[in-house]
Amino acid sequence: EGPTVLKNLVSIFDDMGYPKNVNSDQEFATKEIMKLYETKRITPHVSETGEINKNAIVERLNRTIAGLLQKWRQATK
């Protein structure tokens, strides 16, 4: 869910550092996440639904983030 994703995203960024740019699809373009980007001066690059090539890159990023969240969850129990 959105609040859980946001909380864990902040935790990962706190541990690993905040990026300058984030590429994402519409799933990571919620008001709350966009406000985080604005607050931390992160430039979001959100792909449109029909942009197949960009969405493939974004989906790979989503898998990477999901893997990081899984590792973080296991490490923190």
Instruction: Give the model confidence (pLDDT) of 39-77 as tens digits.
Output: 999 999 887 777 666 667 777 888 898 898 888 888 887
Q: Looking at residue 55, what is its pLDDT? A: 66
Question: In this structure, what is the dihedral angle of CA atoms 15, 21, 26, 28, given to the nearest 10 degrees?
Answer: 10
Q: How confident is the model at residue 18 (pLDDT cuts 50, 70, 90)?
A: very high
Report how far residue 77's alpha carbon sits from residue 71's, in angstroms, rounded to the nearest whole number: 10
